[in-house]
Amino acid sequence: MRDAVIVSTARTPIGKAYRGAFNATPSPTLGGHAIKHAVERAGIDPAEVDDVVMGAGIQMGTAFQNPARASLLRAGLPVTVAGQSVDRAAGPA
């Protein structure tokens, strides 16, 4: 059995959705920036990454199908890397 290892994490900037500085930036561009820098911080070769797991509060926009996959490709990771998007909304009050 192989061990799963988290080597680095990063997040995209947040702000006021319709008035923020990043409101016109596509989500895969923001996600790609975070992934690229997480890989750089880990000090590993991008080809060594097996899987990218990315969470989002609301998945919509240009990467509606799978934001993690679109983002990892924007980050320059190889097409052989899998991407998994997790959407977690708040539970009942």
**Computed from CA positions of residues 77, 78, 82, 83, in that sequence, does the dihedral angle turn out positive or negative?**
positive
Of the candidates 25, 27, 13, 34, the residue with the CA atom closest to the CA atom of residue 58: 27
Phi/psi for 24 (5° steps) reads -100, 5
Global pTM value: 0.79
pLDDT digits (tens, 9 = 90+) for 23-70: 778 888 888 999 999 999 999 999 999 999 988 777 666 555 788 999
Domains identified in the chain and CATH numbers: 1-86 (3.40.47.10)
